[in-house]
Structure 1
Amino acid sequence: MAKAEATVEELVAMIERGELRLPEMQRQYVWRSTRVRDLLDSLYRGYPSGAILLWETDEPIPLQAFAVSQEASPYKSTRLLLDGQQRLTSLSAVVRGQPVTVRARKRPIEILFNLEHPDKLAVVTEVDEEADDDGDDDDRLPDEPDSSDDELQRRFDRMTFVVATRKLEQQPQWVRVSDVFKTDGDGDFLKRAGVSGFDDPRYEKYSKRLARLRSIKKYVYRMDVLERGLSYEEVTEIFVRVNSLGAKLRSSDLALAQITAKWRGSLEKFQAFQHDCTKRGFDLDLGLHLKNMVAFGTGQSRFQTVGNLSADRLQAAWKDGCRGMEFAINFARSNLGIESPALLSSPFLLVALGFFAHARKYVLDADEAARLRYWALVANAKGRYSRGSSETLLDQDLATIRDGGTVQDLIERLRQQVGRLDITPAELEGRSIRSALFKTMFLAFRKAEARDWRSNLVIALDHSGAQHRLQFHHIFPKAALKQVSIIREADDIANLAFIAGGTNRSISDKPPASYMPPLIQKSGTEAFENQAIPTDDPLLELSSYRDFLRERRIRIAAALNSFLDE
């Protein structure tokens, strides 16, 4: 294995010219913008950033596209990037000022640099500036900011790099990193920051910091280059071993490398089906589709066996798995009312649903479909595959189905895991928005035609416009609860309701005793009752907060059980 070196600038140019390509075995680009922010922060400090693994070959290798644009390669031989894709794609996007393509959608990576960062660089990476991102945390119900603008601003001021926000972009001490990389001149940045001449004490400080930022392009990566004579299968094995030892890739990413080595050209098929599911509202990770294929090919969900499957068996499993996933998505949308992965406690539920329908040759009578609906909703509410060892639990259900088990057998397995299948008020206590029950709350309230308190629009995940886009609302605002020293229980799901962004902003930090009576006087109590919210005057006082929670938990539990038993 040969050793070489290249600067960030040289590597970015290699990607742009098409000299550096991605083999089919690589996973897709998955980094969130916050990861790019932290990479830039590390390079700015001069911290180590790992090595790059390449393979130069004359063998015709199935390729996939980088998430950034490339020219056609003018060379006969192909230089393939085996390790370092996430870093180099991120750097290419920022240095060139180009968007990345993630799951067929283009999005910019916009990072800001703080000219006034503290002299002693502080490690402050816990702030997640992004309101929306394309990473693994996409599938969440709408959120609301927990920190005040002043609190966030103080935290940002201690940071060197942040993901761009409109508010920060308007402040003169924050500059776009991509803009700095595109020019060697500091004049525009200094002028915008209010530096009027050489005698300004900020002139030298800002100039040095901009030069230090540009020096990221001169950062040198060590490159390990594999021998040209290695076969694709050998390189795939090296790729799997390198990434297994470093635990840098998930098991699904390693499985993808093994699958594409046996079934050349398969990645394009996988991504095409993934895109079809996304168009129907189910933007699922490619790893979930691969796990589904393995389940249909082996009757269990673990990737360890994928290396033993022949190309023919992989192709047959993929065909069956696609049909099963199509059924699962249709059943989720039509029978469960689940129109987005955001409402699933685990996407493993789709694998089990499709596998069950496949075992029944996609013929279910009315009673069996009703029981399957009940099992799926209760399994989702109780977090069947989101507690403990999720793969073990999925394998138990796949084995039950494989051995001819009925829906009732699946229900009994669930009962063994969680005990009683109904929802109790005590079960809601201390639960947060990450609880599976929070997602079921949304499903139950939407079924009851819960509406926004001002516009009367029925709640939905896909309303357009910031005014109508769904948010969750603290019935007792956190700022108001702080006044009576209640902090820990402020995010209890019994204190949350689903309303539109405009309504949420109009209420702001008013206590319910202040904002509810005018709304009730105008439109009645139905909008609140449909979300199991007590409206009795004494319960709306700050001093009665814990009594309000107890009463609402009783009402939520009743609403959930009615929804599940329907």
Structure 2
Amino acid sequence: MSTFDSTKLPLPQVLKDITDGVIQLPDFQRGWVWDDEHVKSLLISIARSFPVGAVMMLDTGGEVRFQVRPVENVEFSGGLPEPERLILDGQQRLTSLTQVLALDKPVKTFDAKGKAIDRHYYIDIALALEEDRLEDAFISVPADRKIKENFDRDIVMDLSTTEMEIRSFHFPCSQILSSDDWEEALHEHAPELFGEFMKFRKQVLAAFRSYQLPAITLGKATSKEAVCLVFEKVNTGGVPLSVFELVTATFAADNFNLRDDWYGSRLRRVEGRVERLSKEPILKGIEPADFLQAISILQSSERRKADIAAGKTGKQISAVSAKRSTVLSLSLDDYQTWAPAVEAGFILAAKFMRKQCFFTGRELPYRTQLVPLAAVLSQIENRWLEPKIYDRLSKWFWCGVLGELYGGAVETRIANDYEELMRWVIDGGEPGDTPRTIGDAAFQESRLDTLRSRNSAAYKGLNVLILREGAKDFFWKASIQELDGEDIALDIHHIFPRAWCEDEGIPANTFNSIVNKTPISYKANRMIGRKAPSEYLASLQAHKQVGLEDIEMDAILASHRIPVAQLRSNEFAEFYKVRKTNLLQLVEIAMGKAPQLDQSNSDRLPSQEADQDELV
């Protein structure tokens, strides 16, 4: 059975329905953004009876309810009427046509630079009747209907009264659909022009009045998920519709402002959840969709428990889910029930991350991995500090990071991890009863050779593993984490300098690997320069602000898991081999499982293979 109807609608009737409130906009639609040139181009297309594309609407009255609003500039004397249809696609076109053709007030649009302007639209009748001049016939004038020049001192054309419009033989587009009053004035002031006007009415005005607009109407039974999907498909040229916006519009129908609840409002003196969450630096990048996913996990988990308790079996039992369809099915009651616990769960997740030595959003490997973590912590609360639970959560977390399992579409993994973590860490799961993320995770030895982008999860993870070992700066001698807190300029730099490696003929994909990188202060890196390690270490140690003996500098190098002897002797190949082994040891400790070693000759440096990561 088809869920939509395709037909053609008379343009005048569509515009009347808009001004009567029969057709309105769902609140998730953006504001009107078309500029003056777009508006004129649309008018010209209709005057030529060219197709301008189909519009898509949704019948109201079904289970899907949205907060609604009228098309821009449309006002009602009483309250907002109940619409029969909502515009899903075609908002810009229908808003343009409504403002120009159906409203007798200035059109609110934009100039080429994006500045808001008010315009009236006219057709130069004489030009419109000339062959191939229709495009030049459409003009827009300022709100006072006067075209001026010489810094607005001289009026070139005045269309501020009907009589002046007739004298200039310029027809107002606001009367295209009903020109009786203008025609009466034409009879009175310039009857000699009536013959020309009738040609114009037949050639141009008739095109608007008889225009048939292709329309697709989705039926009342269309689901929220389908509305969201359809909207994104048909609005490929615009800003994609997010799940948050669709849920916001749904909750607004129940007089709940989800946007205020999340972002807050100074006007309404509402503190948003994101403001409270952002007090934790690592949570500053949390998206509202992440929050809704965590709620959907808890709600669907509760529903699953109820199904099992009711004796349901097999496919009758609801699944724990973080998918879009599950988020879209959340009711306002679901949100209000679970939101406080989820907010608390994210705060606990930030504390967990601090214990793992992640402090800021830029250090976070995967934002999405916080969703199941927050959901779990919302249920177990401070029990996560119990050693057994903490160790298991840590193992799961690092397997997700170093196994690089939380990139891309992860809705299924999020839901699975929540269920499996709850069984494993709380319900007494046996050591072998581990979450799939732990089972799926594998770290290949050769991955170290290709980790070159600081944006990759494993790269960020390895950097933090080095930092939490207590790595100290070559110059300042304090721990990198202490210096970071004091706003000392820090970054990840080459241990064997890039220039030195290039001079030695070492392949770029090798010396740019994380094996040859470590966190170093700007001051230390400036002193390293292009020098060989043996030279820059001597310079650093001799610096009056550093003043380190070999044994002291060796301890700092060891805190970065840097093989000291190989670095001091400038033996890059041996250095690379040993440091790689040292980093693999950190990986094994974090994941609780051994990395997969390469079968090839481990003494050889990696070949000049194509990079998969961005060089940084």
TM-score by length of 2: 0.50
Q: Which position in structure 1 is the counterpart of 2:583? A: 556
What corresponds to 1:285 in structure 2? 287
Deviation track 1:477-509 (CA, whole Å, cap 9, x = no partner) reads 333323315122222110101012333234333
Aligned to 2:458: 437
Distance 1:443 1:500 in 2: 16
Q: Is the 8 A contact 2:494 2:516 kept in 1?
A: yes
Correspondence for 1:297 among 272, 275, 299: 299
Matched residue count: 385
Alignment of structure 1 residues 238-317 onto 2, 5 Å: 240-245=229-234, 253-263=242-252, 264-271=256-263, 272-281=272-281, 282=283, 283-299=285-301, 300-317=321-338
2:396–2:438 CA contact under 8 A, matched in 1: no
Q: Is the 8 A contact 1:349 1:385 kept in 2?
A: no
Instruction: Indicate the residue corresponding to 2:448 in structure 1.
Output: 428
- 2:321 corresponds to 1:319: no
Of residues 490-499 and 366-375 in structure 1, the stretch that sits farther from structure 2 once superposed is 366-375
Residue matched to 2:182: none
Runs of 5+ unmatched residues, structure 2? 1-7, 12-24, 32-51, 58-65, 81-85, 92-108, 117-212, 264-271, 302-320, 593-616
Describe the superposition over 1:337-357 as per-residue Cα deviations: whole angstroms up to 9, x where unpaired.
Answer: 222233332223222222223
Q: Secondary structure, in 3 states, of the residue corresponding to 1:472?
A: strand
| SS, match of residue 368 in structure 1 | helix
Deviation at 1:239, TM superposition (A): 6.3
Q: Aligned runs of 1:507-522 on 2, under 5 Å?
A: 507-520=528-541, 522=547
Residues 401, 457 of structure 2: 8 Å contact kept:
yes
AA aligned to 1:370 is: Y
CA distance in 1, matches of 2:115, 2:517: 40
**Paired position in structure 2 for 1:468:** 488
Amino acid aligned to 1:512:
P
Superposed CA deviations along residues 435-481 of structure 1, whole A, max 9, x for unmatched, are 4332233322222322221123422398479x822211011233332
3-state DSSP of counterpart to 1:279:
coil
- AA matched with 2:274: Q
Q: CA deviation at 1:395?
A: 2.2
| Corresponding letter in the other structure for 1:558 | Q
Does the CA contact (< 8 Å) of 1:252 and 1:287 recur in 2? no
Structure 1 residues 235 and 558, CA gap change in structure 2 (3 angstroms): closer
CA deviation after TM superposition for structure 1 residue 539, in Å: 6.4
Specify the code of the residue in structure 2 equivalent to 1:327: L
Q: Pick the aligned partner of 1:346 from 366, 371, 392.
A: 366
1:315 deviation in Å? 2.5
Deviations 1:505-544 (A, max 9, x none): 3433333233123224532222211111123257653xx4
Helix, strand or coil at the partner of 2:28: coil
Moved more, 287-296 or 518-527: 518-527
Instruction: Find the counterpart in structure 1 of residue 417 from structure 2.
Output: 397
CA distance in 1, matches of 2:242, 2:537: 50
- How far did 1:269 drift? 1.0
Of 440, 463, 487, the residue aligned with 1:417 is 440
- Sequence identity, in percent? 16
Amino acid of the residue matched to residue 352 of structure 1?
A: P
Is 1:526 matched up with 2:555?
Answer: yes
8 Å contact kept, 1:480–1:509: yes
TM-score by structure 1 length?
Answer: 0.54
Q: 5+ residue gaps in structure 1?
A: 5-21, 29-49, 56-60, 65-72, 86-90, 99-223
Q: Is it true that 1:368 corresponds to 2:371 in the alignment?
A: no
How far is 1:274 from its partner?
A: 1.9
Q: Deviations over 1:163-198 (max 9, x none)?
A: xxxxxxxxxxxxxxxxxxxxxxxxxxxxxxxxxxxx
For residue 97 of structure 1, report the CA deviation from its aligned partner: 10
Matched, 1:25 2:14: no
Q: Which has the larger radius of gyration?
A: 2
Residues 342 and 314 of structure 1, relative CA distance in 2, 3 Å threshold: same
Per-residue deviation, residues 372-396 of structure 1 (Å, max 9, x unmatched): 3432442244245335752222222
Task: Name the SS of the counterpart of 1:536 in structure 2.
Answer: helix
Report the Cα distance in structure 2 between the residues aligned to 1:317 and 1:251, rounded to whole angstroms. Answer: 27
- State the secondary structure of the residue aligned to 2:499: helix
Range moving further from structure 2, 252-261 or 307-316: 252-261
Alignment of 1:36-47 (within 5 A): none
Over 3 Å counting, the alpha-carbon distance change for 1:415 and 1:364 in structure 2 is closer
Contact 1:236 1:261 (C-alpha < 8 Å) held by counterparts: no
Offset of 1:278 from its aligned partner? 1.9
Q: CA offsets per residue over residues 133-166 of structure 1, 9 Å max, x none?
A: xxxxxxxxxxxxxxxxxxxxxxxxxxxxxxxxxx
**Alignment correspondent of 1:184:** none
Post-superposition shift, 1:24?
Answer: 5.8
1:9-24 correspondence runs (5 A)? none
- Once the two structures are TM-superposed, the CA of residue 410 in structure 1 deviates from its matched residue by 6.9
CA distance in 1, matches of 2:115, 2:525: 35
Question: C-alpha root-mean-square deviation of aligned residues, in Å?
Answer: 5.2
Q: Structure 1: how far apart are the matches of 2:457 and 2:328?
A: 34
User: Is the alpha carbon distance of 1:443 and 1:63 closer, same or farther for their aligned partners in structure 2, counting shifts above 3 Å?
Assistant: farther
**How far is 1:309 from its partner?**
2.9
Structure 2 counterpart of 1:497, from 518, 540, 545: 518
List aligned pairs for 1:377-392, cutoff 5 A: 377-383=397-403, 385-386=405-406, 390-392=410-412
Distance 1:328 1:234, change over 3 A: closer
Q: Is the 8 A contact 1:236 1:258 kept in 2?
A: no
8 Å contact kept, 1:27–1:253: no
- Separation of aligned partners in 1, 2:223 and 2:535: 69
TM-aligned CA distance change 1:471 to 1:81, over 3 Å: farther
Secondary structure at 2:450's aligned position in 1?
coil
Which protein, 1 or 2, shows the higher relative CO under an 8 Å CA cutoff with sep ≥ 6?
1
Q: Which amino acid aligns with 1:297?
A: Q
Closer, same or farther: CA 518–258 of 1 in aligned 2, 3 Å: same
CA distance in 1, matches of 2:397, 2:372: 13
Contact conserved, 1:469 with 1:500, CA < 8 A, in 2?
A: yes
Distance, in Å, in 2 between the alignment partners of 1:250 and 1:305 is 23
Distance 1:93 1:503 in 2: 52
CA contact (8 A) 1:258 1:307 kept: yes
Counterparts in 2 of 1:506 and 1:307: CA distance versus 1, 3 Å = same
Given residue 553 of structure 1, which amino acid in structure 2 is its aligned partner? K
